Structure formats: C-alpha cells, structure tokens
Copies of this chain bind each other. A is one copy, B any other.
Amino acid sequence: MAVTMHDVARLAGVSIKTVSNVVNDYPYIRPQTRARVEAAIETLGYELNVTARQLKQGRTGMIGLAVPDLRVPYFSELAYSVMRAAEDRGLTLLIEQTGPMGERELDALRGQKRRLTDGLIFSPVSMSPDDTTPLAVTYPLVLLGERVFQGPVDHVTMANVEGAKAAASHLVERGCRHVAVIGAHPGEVVGSAGLRLKGFQAGLTEAGLTPDPRLVGVAGRWVHATGAEAMRQVLDTGAPVDGVFAMNDALALGALRELHRRGFAVPDDVAVVGFDNIAQTLYSEPPLTTIDVSRKHIAHEAVRMLIERMEGLDVAPRLLTAPFELVERASTARQGTT
C-alpha cells in the first residue's frame, strides 16, 4: 500500500495528529517538530490521500459546472472562466456536458456526480420556467445563463434586454434604417430569445423606426448554420436590409457568410452586430461588432454565490445581472472608415 500518515509519524517520532497538523499548515507547531515531520515526508515520498480527507470532512473540494456542449465556443469559454474562478478560490472544477439540447440535464441535477461535488453551477437549456421542481435540490446550486427562473435558487443572468437594445441603437445611429434580427423564437418571451427580441425592438422604436415583421429571422438553435438559413429567409422576403442584429455570435457569423454569398459588402451594404463576444469574432471577415457580457464577471460571481451557499448562507434566492459592453469592430464601421 501507499505511504500513510502513520508511516510518517513513526519515522518522525510523533503522532499522526502532528503529521496532520504539518500537512494542513496548522500554525502552532514547534519548528524542529515541523522540520522532523517534513524530513520524514520527504524521505518516504508521502502524499496526502485526498479521498480519505474528503470522507472525513464530508466535503470534496470540487464543484460541478454543467453546460450543454463544450464544442460550442460560448460554453468552452465559459468553462475556462469558471475554472479559473474556481481555482482562485481553491476549488477543483468538474465539467459536465448535458447535451446540445440539454438531454441529460436531469442526470446532472440528480445523478451520482452530485456526490462528488460540494455544489453545482448549472447552465440550463431545455428546462422550462414553468417547471422548476427539478431545481429544488438539497445541495448548493447556482443557475447561469439567460433564462429567468422564479425558482428556488440563486441565479446569475446577463443584460439581455439592455444589451440587445444597445445593439439596435448602435445600428440605427450608424445610419441603418432596415434592421433585421436573427435568432427569434416565436412565442417565447422570458428566455434569452424573447428578451433580446424585446430589447432589439425597443431600440428601434425609441429611434422612431417601426419593426418590420419580414425582418425577423427565426432560428431554433443558435449556430452558424441556422444563422445562415435565417439570413437567407429574411433576404428572400425581398425586404431591404441594411443592418443585422444576430442574437449570438454564431448566428452572426452564419449570417455574415450568407451576406457574402449574395454579394453584400459588410459593413458598407449591411452592418452586422452579434452577441457574446466569443474569441472568433475578432478574426471573422470583417471582425464582428458584438455585445460583451463578461463571462469573467459571470463566472466570478457564480462561484462566489455558490461558495456562500456551501458555507451555509441562508437567505432568499438572489438574482445578479452581469453588465454588458458594446464592442465596436469593423462589421459596423461607417463607410470610409474601414
């Protein structure tokens, strides 16, 4: 078997309590005792058995992050940020995938992995605001992302309405008069699609423009392919288009591709704004203006709230809204400034 504290204690001539004290940086240890123990650890190549500590302490030091699909840049970048935030707080992050459509969300919520973590940060896709009962769990849980739940848990969301409104305003200020929106989910009002549509239309209305129903492109999933398809449908209506707000960057990149295919110049013929500020928007042709919702901020706050719950904080569910920022790039540059 492996070297244990008992072996170290024996060699150092102390009790295992003292070894434990040294390993855990307990302060009041006589320097020479500490030195003897450390020498013994070195000699034997002792390493703490984390599992035994976990069993005794009733904690694992791990937290879970459940996202739909790591292949989607938004989620891999989110995972990056949450992992960094967790490390900053001395926690290990266990990433789990719930499937592109959230097929395995219930597994994540109540599966055996929950016994491996002290809490969960959960980014839902398929859960309906109508049925929040699966969220009534007995462990610390923080919800992430775009849906608004009245549920019994803490929640970090983003400025969907305000961000979309800023995108619309930016396009109008730039001179656009026929602004399409890509990514709508007809009938959905409390999810990110509904909120971003609402903000977008508010931005147009405030500028004195009337939203044109022909310029609303529907896209169920928010990926490149559906963005191109929705752009195609909008253009096929024959309505004039000189600006596009896509509800996320993947849709925007798909729309960009369809615009190119049809011979539209971006930004001179059509200006485009996305949402999320994923890394590849820096390198699209042209680089994409987008709404940054600060994943770093979201990650940091989510970890902070989760730790508070893990430490026993007992207050009503909290809702935090991360700030946004419009990042201007070439896809909305004014003519002649490209």
Contacts and interface: CB of A to CB of B under 8 A. Distances in A.
A32 interface: no
A280 interface: yes
Given A50-B112, A51-B115, A115-B47, A70 B60 contact: no
Contacts of A51: 51, 54-55, 60, 115-116
Interface string A67-85: 0011101001101100100
Interface in A258-308: 260, 279-280, 282-285
Contacts of A95: 79, 83, 93, 95
B70 A73 contact: no
Sorting the interface of chain A by its residue count into under 10, 10 to 19, 20 to 34 or 35 or more gives 35 or more
Contact of A71 (B92, B113, B279): B279
A52 interface: yes
A48 interface: yes
Contacts of A285: 256-257, 260, 285
Interface string A36-68: 000000000001111110110000101000000
A127 interface: no
B70 A83 contact: yes
Contacts of A48: 112, 115
Interface string A81-120: 0010000000011110100000000000000110110000
Among A70, A79, A83, A115, max chain B CB count under 10 A is at: A70
Given A50-B115, A54-B51, A97 B70 contact: no
A253 interface: yes
A113 B91 CA distance: 11
Given A48-B115, A51-B51, A283-B257, A76 B83 contact: no
A203 interface: no
Contacts of A225: 282-283
Contact of A76 (B47, B70, B113): B70
Given A50-B116, A224-B280, A285-B285, 5 more contacts: A49-B115, A52-B55, A70-B70, A70-B77, A71-B279
